[in-house]
Chain A
Amino acid sequence: MTGEWLTQAIQAVLVLACAPLLTGVTRKIRARLLRRRGASVIQPYRDLLKLIRKEAVVAENASWLFRVAPYVMFASTWVAAALVPTFATGLTFSAAADLIVIVALLGTARFLLALAGLDVGTSFGGIGSSREMMFASLAEPAMLMAVFTLSLFAGSTQLSSISTYMLGPDAGLSISIALALIALVIVAIGENARIPVDNPATHLELTMVHEAMILEYSGRHLAVIETAASVKLLLYLSLIACVFVPWGTAVSGAGLLAYTIGVVAYAAKLAVLGFLLVVFETAIAKMRVFRVPDFLGVALMLGLLGTMLLFVSRVSR
């Protein structure tokens, strides 16, 4: 019991502490692939430090929502990330929330951020919110369908149960799982504002989605939002790692060695997934906004196909 609490606490701190590092690493790899030297991998930490030391400039007509939204949206993202097993399963709170809840918590964060984008009443905020919600209207069901596929496959919506099932002997290769993986990867790209859906480094306002929404933010509020964005990227990669490459994850009650292996394996998985993400990103061009629904629609259809196959192939008892 104490072990579970400890794991949960370490996990919650770990995701928060590592998230900016992951962002830094992906930026570094991206720069190297583009034959630039790139900033140090700890640059995101320095950025955050600089941001929280600066004064916050808030638009005159911003309401309380504008100032509260970053914290609540960060909190929901963080809670969601703390519930995804990273280096060990058997978290205390794993029975509090299943995979559907994690998707919905990200929905809460998105809802608040989209509202914050509308709060000041500028056209850029509006464009960001509107497009974000349009993407979400396809990305969220796509993710849910991927979740359904996994849940039907493993017979549970609990992440720890799914992860354990995937490690066990019953889990074979399955087309549905492959479809769910593709769907989840597409959703991860779309939801984290990566190329080809959005460009996190853009300076062309009309191509921005996420950045347009948070255009009015500065100082500590921006720092909180940026951290939340990093945590969200970490969450998606952890989720893919936890479900599709669960090897090395320590099970609850294992010895110290298992936990050490778990941490190392987790770091390796994140590094590989981050690398793949960046390679994909550099190899592809940004899409036109109205091509994105097709891209995300593919994810939705693949997720639906995966679920449908499982529904059909299930032998009734």
Chain B
Amino acid sequence: MSQLATNCVGLLLLLAAVAIPLSRLRFGSHLVYGACTLVCAVLAGSALLVLLAPGLQPGVIELPVGLPLGRTLLGLDPLSAAFAVIINVATTIVSAYAIGYGAHSREPQRIVPFYPAFIAGMNLVLLAQDAFSFLVGWEFMSLASWALVVSEDRSADNRYAGLVYLIMASAGALTLLLAFGLLAGPAGGYTFVEIRSAVAPHIGSIVLILALIGAGSKAGLVPLHAWLPLAHPAAPSHVSALMSGVMTKVAVYGFVRIVFDLAGPPLWWWSVPVLVVAAATALLGVLYALMEHDLKRLLAYHTVENIGIIFIGLGLALAFEANGFRTAAALALTAAIFHVFNHSLFKSLLFLGAGAILNASGERDMEKLGGLIHRMPVTALAFLAGCMAISALPPFNGFVSEWLTFQAILISPELPQWIPRLLVPAVGATLACSAALAAACFVKAFGMTFLGRARSTAAATAHETDYWSRGAMLLFAALCLLAGILPGFVIDSLAPVTQMLAGARLESQATQPWLRIVPIDVHRSAYNGLLVFAMISIAAAATAAVVRRFASHALRRSPAWDCGFPEPSPATQYTAGSFAQPIRRVFGGVVFRAREHVVMPKPGDNAVARLRVDLHDTIWEALYVPVIRAVNGAADRLNKMQFLTIRKYLTIVFVALVMLLVIVGVWR
């Protein structure tokens, strides 16, 4: 299986090379995207086989390339197989969408070659069984996605996004390099097997912090999320879907691999920074998303929230594992990885929907959309499913993973340490808050985009997208529902992963009657998505039947009532800004230092009154602006060095030489 997966990655790289000439042809991009779909489907299938067939030894492939005198090890173990399934399922469907969507891009040669390379990079990270190939894959993934972000480089915003992304990605990769350097130790055994066997106990803590920064910046943990809402929307929508729905998952994989697998047995306090950062990420992510009017940026900010939810699960798992609560750790890990899977499905779906809207109307700004449900019914249906799933509403899949996270929170009073015990209830409240705010956020996203009346001619003349795109979105929506009503299968397939990382597995859910899920004990908690779905469907159908039988069938279409004063102008509708205004007032005062100013003309003056709202990105201003200022200041100082005379240069060289010699002398 490892051989097959490796071959697939090689095939993807080959495809990237072939795509350079192919993309200039008329149906070249169709061919490339179609090939990506097939290869990713094979990858997903082989990874699923590794995960589900316990007797199958996937083996490790050795490639004779790598560091000097080294070699590259590639292979699938349960952890990488689980993530490979998650990533390649989403990638397969996104590639199918791209067959239709990619045809609309103006310069396919700037996108098509990098697309397979990006997928290959992500899969290489997962396949890597040594630090070297892991980092190579990581950088490959970063650079290919960077190229895709700046593919539309005419807009200054996109160039800026590319710059910020490149800087953050390099910084993240640097910390990961340091983390692996520490793990490999002085002996320099950089394969994962060697690292696992030779782990020094005191190193783990530093590695945790480095991994939290390195993988966290890629995943979008607050405050390292700054690049994400810039870069994800800048790329073409199918690439946005991959970056937001899939690449962030590779980052989560990196964190799990380093902290749970390689860094040795965890200490109890490791959970504290993870939980604090995760809770802040969840809450701030959704609040930022609520303030956003640009659909794709809203979705990107919302990815930040979901990463927070995933890391809450991981933090709980760390706390449990450090105290030897293996089953509880397995539960928290299952919740986290289940949410990884769910998020890859619905976030990809929502970005594909945003792409369809962008394609149909040329608009990303929700203030200029509206009423698309009439003109894009299929997209609307799929997008609605995605919105309900991401808002953690039953019977969709987002609810199941949040429910599991809540169950993990409810066993944490057993923890012996005081700090996590005080922290976890607050984390639980934050999680509950962010779930409720997510629902508000997606009522806004769906309502402003698809409902109401069109706010611009572009929205009024929009049209439904092509068959490939519609099919891909419906497939994602169906998967969201399926994972929600049959969660037991997902939990069972994750059992090998928890067995590998936490040394325990949850009870097999397949044996439960009625396909319900029971994480620990049936008297403690149980959920049956299928039954809930069936009951809602039956109740709704029965009500509709009763109403149909006994109620009047008459239906009259008339102008909207609106309390007797309907206003024909669509400008009188609620906008994205006005929808979020109450929440901005409640939460924004502290988080965004939001201030409202009413500019009133003097009595007798006919000028219009204006409402101005000031919002501050507090994290950017507090953390990034000083750094940027410092770097710019230092660059200005150093700039003077460029215009010295030769005499001064020689003096500098001489002084530097003397200083180095002194240092060497003292060192000896």
Q: Residues on A close to B: CB < 8 A? A: 52-61, 63-65, 71-72, 74-76, 78-79, 82, 93, 95-98, 100-101, 104-105, 107-108, 110-111, 114-115, 118-127, 129-131, 133-134, 136-141, 144-145, 148, 151-152, 155-158, 161, 205, 215-216, 219-220, 223-224, 289-290, 293, 300, 303-304, 307-308, 310-312, 314, 316-317
Contacts and interface: CB of A to CB of B under 8 A. Distances in A.
Interface of B: 370-371, 373-374, 377, 380, 384, 388, 391-394, 399, 403, 406-407, 409-410, 412-416, 421-422, 424-426, 428-429, 432-433, 435-437, 439-440, 442-444, 446-448, 451-453, 514, 516, 522-528, 531-532, 535-537, 539-540, 543-544, 547, 550-552, 554-563, 566-567, 570, 572-574, 578-583, 585-586
A61 B561 CA distance: 12
A96 B395 CA distance: 12
B153 to A, nearest CB: 37
Given A95-B526, A126-B579, 14 more contacts: A55-B554, A56-B555, A95-B528, A96-B528, A96-B532, A96-B535, A97-B531, A124-B563, A137-B437, A138-B433, A205-B563, A307-B429, A311-B424, A314-B421
A59 B399 contact: no
A96 B527 contact: yes
A282 B516 CA distance: 45
List the 8 closest pairs (A to B, CB-CB), nearest first. A126-B574, A121-B452, A55-B554, A118-B447, A141-B432, A75-B540, A75-B539, A133-B440
B422 A111 contact: no
Contacts, number: 297
Given A101-B527, A104-B399, A133-B583, A307 B428 contact: yes
B585 A59 contact: no
Contacts of B422: 308, 311-312
B400 to A, nearest CB: 10
B533 to A, nearest CB: 10
A72 B536 contact: yes
Contacts of A121: 370-371, 451-453, 560, 570, 573
A79 B532 contact: yes
Contact of B451 (A63, A107, A145, A155): A63
Interface residue SS majority, chain B: helix
A230 to B, nearest CB: 14
B525 A157 contact: yes
A123 B572 contact: yes
18 contacts: A71-B544, A79-B536, A100-B525, A108-B393, A114-B447, A118-B451, A121-B370, A123-B562, A129-B447, A130-B574, A138-B433, A139-B436, A140-B436, A145-B428, A152-B410, A157-B525, A158-B524, A215-B562
Which of A108, A124, A137, A215 has the most chain B CB atoms inside 10 A of its CB?
Answer: A137
B440 A134 contact: yes
A58 B433 contact: no
Contact of B443 (A55, A133, A314): A133
Contacts of B425: 148, 304, 307-308, 311
B439 A136 contact: yes
A141 B415 contact: no
A307 to B, nearest CB: 4
Contact of A60 (B442, B514, B557, B580): B557
A126 B410 CA distance: 37
Given A129-B579, A130-B578, A311-B412, A78 B539 contact: yes
A79 B535 contact: yes
A118 B516 CA distance: 35
Contacts of A52: 547, 550-552
A131 B586 CA distance: 11
A118 B574 contact: yes
Contact of A311 (B421, B523, B537, B551): B421
B440 A136 contact: yes
A134 B523 contact: no
Contact of B526 (A74, A98, A141, A290): A98
Given A57-B556, A61-B374, A216-B561, A134 B582 contact: yes
B560 A316 contact: no
A141 B433 contact: yes
B436 A157 contact: no
B413 A95 contact: no
A252 B380 CA distance: 45
A157 B526 CA distance: 8
A125 B414 CA distance: 47
Given A121-B451, A123-B574, A215-B562, A158 B525 contact: yes
A96 B522 CA distance: 10
Given A105-B532, A293-B586, A95 B562 contact: no
A64 B384 CA distance: 13
Contacts of B416: 316
A42 B294 CA distance: 50
Contacts of B528: 93, 95-97
Given A96-B527, A304-B426, A144 B432 contact: yes
Nearest to A67: B555
A137 B391 CA distance: 12
A96 B527 CA distance: 5
Contact of B556 (A56, A63, A76, A111): A56
Contacts of A93: 528, 531, 535
B514 to A, nearest CB: 7
Contact of B573 (A63, A123, A215, A312): A123
Contacts of A118: 443, 447-448, 451-452, 574
